[in-house]
Chains A and B, each alone.
Chain A
């Protein structure tokens, strides 16, 4: 990849230029319904070029090595038509060391992943014969380099490795997916037993049916289900949404927005996470950014553009891939764990709904924080015991209002790759169910 040549060529014809280059080597091994399905290698490299000429910003991208001359022409053409650039490209960053993966990850050949998959499918067939497992092992090595005419020239390599598992139990008139996840980016060998135990336990709960109750009731949302519920937060905390005056958090810095048992941090320095990075997509050094501390809103995530608009320093939160422009967004989102164990919380709550998977978080009025989530893996509990699976139940409301009521936080922070979350208890959420019960 001729980064220096592109930067030099663009620098000669523009007032300022920034070259962002990504090279990705990804291996994916898939199983479907307990059977090996395919093995895929993805080799991709590409380059994004931003230029400023006469104060205006232009962009072009290419994965075609033979069209780099055109890339510069296209970026300059776009700058001729483009909007004003209200910021300067980054100077050389001085980021702290960040553990962006483990070299051992690259030593596992695809054959080994296929063996792990077969062992897992075989183990689950004997434990839960009615379950069919879909598995996706994904290992990615990504090299990033960014160079600007402002003097930045920095790069890093990140290796990640994870497993998405989903157990399908299909019966007469009923199907349920039981999702699971394991982050293997720290290089440790895959451990079969803990994953099997989790899948087996959820399958056991799913065998019996329980009736959902429409109305306000206690709901415990597990870590696996929380990302769908939290879908409005990336927009709400985005400096770009502040810039466009469409975030409901504008003017609320310092105000208690969430329950005081909730502390939420965007942490690109989380070791061996999927989004660990020493600098962001614009070459600005990253840092952990507290978003909510004991429920109080601390501030927005900024890229260079939205930071310039707000008159603050960028938080190193520009996310991008080579074909797209940078925009502020989450890296790894952490919610600090509490002290409560799940069994103890179920007992203390008495009766309610335990939700292990939602779908539909992305389709609501996310700007305002409104969500209506279909709880497709949810369980009724009575007197602290799971009584069975509930079908066709929706949880609805405003996420900010919901999160302001959380009264119990789980003691374990699940590693979901980019989300590091405990379970949360909501003392009263609106649940809409098809099946009604008296009272």
Chain B
């Protein structure tokens, strides 16, 4: 978006919000372009580009939010804004107010090397074809999925406070999955890379791809894990998913804000896990997948300590929850795209490293599991479940044999209090997928952790 386009949009959005007799209003308009290439097996399954344009208009009056998302960016928005103001007026008033900020104007532009639009679709296809070919030429791999995806987005935000933010964002990554089959035994394994560091950061990832094929084949020889309770050592990726799924979602204040019992359970100072545990959400980390300058409510990105030495010290807020809980907004009001309003979301959430060494964790484990990789996870407040890619059965401190179909479940409060060791080897992950919440997914997030050792975890298998 050029400077003159930006000024023109500002004038138009001023017109939309001008004269609304409401307590607060904001409008966010986006224009985005995406491209994707998908191979399934040796076949190019799809290749294409898409263009999105639309926005979100929000009105807050007498304690109530009324929101509309739209495609048409024209004079009809003036009427839509007036309609929303009328609808808000019809609702019974409530005691509530969003957090306010002062006027501010800023334009945020990317380094041109981060813009995936500067790379041709042919080059994108060539890269993912190359990675896919590594897998399709691996003996024993019967099928593959190899996907490249990128997005470039301009977002313009204006609030009735006089905040005008014009931001450019981009994301690109790839993911490969290999399927190995031996009769009715079908095993798959996937991995990828994605950070907003431009197309060049995706090159030279052959070792990652080769490992995907190898692990899928190894899993054919793995036995299903015996279901039961184990001491587990989880690798940084699975520990990061645990941190995100089991604790991170619980720390999103929109779950907590309206429920006095949850507010009591999540009050500052509440013991949470072991004393060595500290968890942070930080949207300001350069080059990470969950980083941004301003969230989708015009709030500056921040670094929020959530757990400090085993005690809850913070929650993640959007304007609405911050206002209701009299807390400062943390810049975590994020929307998946122009078709959605912002809700409280994580950015880059990670467990801070401590001193433990993974070999020492193994040494002191008489019988347990060393669990690796993630197939994803789900959480329903205190209950979580997430699945690993595979695990090693550990006996007398040694990794003995590979096992599969490993799923962990439990209660987050109990499980975090069962952490016995926190590693010194923090890794931050990006990827191609993301976080899902309220029908908005996958939202780019970063997640990280060092190795963890946890006692008495319920593991599902056979």
Contacts and interface: CB of A to CB of B under 8 A. Distances in A.
Contacts of B185: 368
Interface stretch (A6-14, A77-85, A191-199, A266-274): A77-85
B407 A394 contact: yes
Contact of B458 (A77, A359, A432): A432
Say what secondary structure dominates the interface of chain B.
strand
Contacts of A35: 94, 258
Contact of B380 (A37, A173, A246, A359): A359
A77 B262 CA distance: 53
A78 B410 contact: no
Contacts of A132: 258-259, 261
Given A40-B68, A60-B50, A246-B143, A372 B385 contact: yes
A172 to B, nearest CB: 9
Interface in A43-66: 43-46, 57-66
Interface string B326-338: 0000000000000
A63 B51 contact: yes
A57 B31 CA distance: 26
A392 B387 contact: no
A363 B378 contact: yes
B459 A432 contact: yes
B461 A372 contact: yes
B51 A64 contact: yes
Nearest to A166: B380
B47 interface: yes
B407 A372 contact: yes
A6 to B, nearest CB: 13
B407 A360 contact: yes
Contact of A364 (B64, B375, B459): B375
Contacts of A75: 48
A70 interface: yes
B53 A63 contact: yes
A116 to B, nearest CB: 14
A36 B460 contact: no
Contacts of A181: none
Contacts of A432: 227-229, 458-460
Interface string A111-148: 10010000000000000000010000000000000000
B405 A42 contact: no
A392 B460 contact: no
B51 A70 contact: yes
Nearest to B64: A36
A419 to B, nearest CB: 18
A40 B339 CA distance: 11
B122 interface: yes
A62 B84 CA distance: 27
Interface in A100-117: 110-111, 114
A25 B385 CA distance: 35
Contact of B377 (A44, A173, A363): A363
Contacts of A91: none
A363 B52 contact: no
Most chain A beta-carbon neighbours within 10 Å: one of B142, B458, B462: B458
A66 B52 CA distance: 10
B265 A170 contact: yes
Interface in B43-100: 43-54, 64-72, 84, 87, 90-92, 94
B51 A71 contact: yes
Contacts of A82: 44, 46-47
A50 to B, nearest CB: 9
A67 B51 CA distance: 8
Contact of A248 (B53, B71, B184, B377): B184
Contact of A363 (B43, B68, B386): B386
Interface string A363-377: 111011010111010
Interface in A335-377: 359-360, 362-365, 367-368, 370, 372-374, 376
B435 interface: no
A395 B458 CA distance: 11
A189 interface: no
B6 interface: no
Nearest to A171: B261
A402 interface: no
Nearest to B63: A36
A396 B258 contact: no
Interface residues of A, number: 77
A170 B259 contact: yes
B460 A394 contact: yes
A394 B227 contact: yes
Given A38-B64, A59-B48, A60-B48, A374 B227 contact: no
A434 interface: yes
Given A36-B64, A360-B407, A432-B460, A170 B48 contact: no
Contacts of B341: 38, 40
A110 B87 contact: yes
Given A58-B48, A59-B47, A365-B404, A170 B261 contact: yes
A57 B45 CA distance: 9
A259 B31 CA distance: 52
Contact of B405 (A173, A365, A391, A434): A365
Q: Which of B68, B257, B383, B456 has the most CB of A within 10 A?
A: B383
B44 to A, nearest CB: 3
Contacts of B462: 396-397, 430
A94 B258 CA distance: 51
B407 A363 contact: yes
Interface in B349-407: 375-387, 404-405, 407
A210 to B, nearest CB: 16
B258 A37 contact: yes
Interface string A26-46: 000000111111111111111
A244 interface: yes
Contacts of B54: 44, 63
Interface in A235-254: 240, 244-246, 248
A37 B65 contact: yes
A74 B122 contact: no
Contacts of B71: 43-46, 63-65
A373 B47 contact: no
Contacts of B458: 392, 394, 432-434
Contacts of A60: 48-51
A156 B44 CA distance: 32
9 contacts: A37-B258, A43-B71, A62-B50, A170-B261, A175-B265, A246-B143, A372-B387, A373-B460, A432-B458
Interface of B: 31, 40-41, 43-54, 64-72, 84, 87, 90-92, 94, 121-122, 125, 142-143, 179, 181, 184-188, 224, 227-229, 254, 257-259, 261-262, 265, 339, 341, 375-387, 404-405, 407, 409-411, 413, 456, 458-462
The 8 lowest CB-CB distance pairs between A and B, nearest first, are A372-B460, A372-B407, A360-B385, A33-B258, A83-B44, A59-B48, A64-B53, A374-B385
Given A42-B339, A245-B142, A396-B461, 11 more contacts: A43-B72, A60-B50, A63-B71, A78-B47, A244-B40, A323-B52, A325-B46, A360-B377, A365-B188, A392-B410, A432-B228
